[in-house]
Amino acid sequence: MAKLLPFDSDFASTTEFARYYRSLNWQVVPALEPREAKAWKRPALASWKEYERVLVDDLVFDRWYGPAGQYLNRQNLGVICGPASNGLWILDLDTQKNPMAQVFLDQLIEQNGGPFKTPTQRTGGGGLQIVFRAPEGWNPGTGKTAMGVDVRGTGGFAMLPCSRHESGNFYEWLPGLAPWEIEVAVAPQFLCTAVDHVLKVREPGAAGQKTESPDVATNAFGQIVDGRESVMTRYVWGALCNLYRKSPILPPADQLQALAREVFGQYESKVKSRIVEPQTPNHVLLEREGRGVTLFQQKWQSALQQWNTKVAEHAAVPQTASITVDPETGEVLAGFEVETPVENLFELLNVAQIKALPDPLWLVEGLFVEKSLAFIYGPPGAGKSFVALSVAFAIACRLPSWFDKPIQRHGPVIYISSEGTADMKFRLMALEQEHAVNADQHPFFLIPSAMSLMDAAQVERLIKTIETITESNGKPVMLFIDTVSRVLPGADENLQKDATQFIAACDALREAFDCTVVGVHHTSRQGNLRGSTVFDGAGDALLSVERDEGQEVGNLIAKKIKSAKDGWSQPFKLVSKLTGDIKGTTSLVATASSEAPQQAESDWPDREVCQSILVAMDAAWRDEKPWSPYVQTKKEGRYAPTIMTRWGISEELGNKMLEAWAVRKEIAVEQISTKYKTKGYRVLKSVAEVGRNLGGS
């Protein structure tokens, strides 16, 4: 075992990190920083192809990191894997966001008889990167998989500590697993076999050959947002190679144009513009970026000019041959992997693929799922803004829970509010006092400007505004819009067209930042979410806030939770709290409460009517046609508040009675059986007991 050189990482500069990595014969190079490019995880060099095979000499390295080096003040650096780094390769596992990656790692650890004893780092994004050397005769390539297991081999690049991630976190070696604490292990055979099986990138050929997948990145919908030029190249050359195989004689111009239109349509369906502008077609935005039809035609014409040379050469190669694509330009350098034109179909998943889909990831357990859309709504004065602000504060300030529900992910929060901003500082100061937290250094941001999310230009302006804080703080995990009506000037909330346009704007924000969007909205006269049913249908979570005027305690009611149980109520208090300033200013704070709100039952029907209602509710449950709390079941005749009008009770009062019974656990929303998925109200106690406890005088 070679003696490891000592290294003090706590006080080392970037240059000292670079020199240490170089002492291990790693091809360390300067790297981009997040503020410099969207695809920033790459060397800060015009080209790095020349550095893939041999470790650079001292003259080149000193030009980068010597006493007068060009990159002395650059924070980020990385390593080019493969031959230039003495066979070093990296197993990259997105365990923080893909359960399949963790399963894969657990299986490897079990087969290894324990964790791998080799340098391992936690990336700035929260994943793991494990460093190995390739055994003699095995040369891993570079590839990505949908399961979050990636390989950085020949031609691959990885960021290294002391680099900084766009989240603001630093890349860090795990305790005891830094390269100055432990040697790089040679990958065991079973690991090489596993990598070959999963990625299918093994390099059995002669030295200098490689099988390489160009770097691509997809959005939440599987559309390619990075690496689009190489994708376009593959479609162009694939189509023309297939055409050549059918006949080496060029068809007429009109047939070529028809084929070009077909192939561009397939390319356009696979990729997505980075410009977020609702209602503008994708192909128009791609053209604006220089990744649209103009570039496609240039590549098409360039390939046609090589019909009898490179096209003929590539067409003669079997379709299973490997490809080498320049990751910077998308140019086909050697070999060819055909993208065969197929009909433009929607994606189909079989059962195994469905089961392999990632589980929903919670922000607040049982309430808010990552990258979802939610609404917190209630009548004026109910406290909905205080409830919304309390969860925003908890997420941004790293509180362990909110309303007794564990918080699974923290991060930056954007709060949009053009009303009540004058006392926003007092509300935040009161929350600080309530939770004994100083929020000054936490990523909570307010946008107090009036805006219209019905205007595509303003949506794009909002996205650009938020992007200004992502460089140093990372992407927001939640974005609050308080209130929805304030960002819809001139729109009619009841019109499906206008509501759909607002939802499209929310989707654009979710897609741009992979965040959860929460709209704070009002109720209708019937006590439901105001406006078109488009809002109800699009919301993954609908939380109703109810509090009688003058009461300290109210109810937060889970009307709809798409990925968890709903129909429950959580009492909350609006308490007055000192803000801590010298004037003795106070502000209200929303906190969880163990006591149910007092019910104003003087206007309730008498006990006999309550018992009659509950008898009917119980009978409906037994007949497997349960009364429902969901307004969309009105058409089925199961909406409970509407049914209760038969007893002369308004829908508003009916809602209050149902919620009071639910809070006291007299009734609950349940699924009627495993056979039927229908949900509805079930009477939990005897009808006589419920009527005695909750009936009027």
* Cα–Cα dist 192/202, whole Å: 9
Confidence of residue 218 (pLDDT cuts 50, 70, 90): low
pLDDT tens-place string over residues 179-189: 999 999 999 99
106-122 per-position pLDDT tens digit: 889 988 889 999 999 99
The predicted structure's pLDDT at residue 148: 83
pLDDT at 27 over 90: yes
More confident position, 319 or 328? 319
Q: Taking all residues of the chain, what is their mean pLDDT, rounded to a whole number?
A: 84
Nearest Cα residue to 245 out of 253, 237, 235? 237
H-helix or E-strand spanning residue 447: strand 444-447
Q: Which of 92-101, 312-321, 358-367 has the lowest mean pLDDT?
A: 312-321
Average pLDDT, stretch 661-680? 80
Please report, as a single letter, which amino acid is at residue 631.
V
pLDDT at 214 over 60: no
Identity of the residue numbered 651: E
Span 210-216, mean pLDDT? 43
pLDDT, tens digit (0-9, with 9 covering 90-100), for 1-19: 456 778 888 888 899 999 9
Q: What is the pLDDT of residue 84?
A: 92
| Residue of higher predicted confidence among 642 and 334 | 642
Determine the Cα–Cα distance for residues 233 and 229; give it in Å rounded to an integer.
6
Residue type, position 394, single letter: A
User: What distance in Å separates the CA atoms of residue 157 and residue 152, rounded to the nearest whole number?
Assistant: 6
- Per-residue pLDDT at 657 exceeds 60: yes
pLDDT score, position 319: 55
Which of 604 and 513 is assigned the larger pLDDT?
Answer: 513
599 pLDDT higher than 60: no
Helix axes 282-289, 293-305, angle to 10 degrees: 70
Give the whole-number percent of the chain exceeding pLDDT 90: 38
Residue 54: strand, helix, or coil: coil
Q: How many residues does the chain have?
A: 697
- The rounded distance, in Å, linking the Cα atoms of 694 and 684 is 14
Instruction: Read off the pLDDT of residues 223-244 as tens digits, 9 standing for 90 and up.
Output: 777 778 878 888 888 888 888 8
| pLDDT surpassing 80 at residue 136 | yes
Q: Span 38-66, mean pLDDT?
A: 86
Supply the pLDDT for residue 420.
Answer: 62
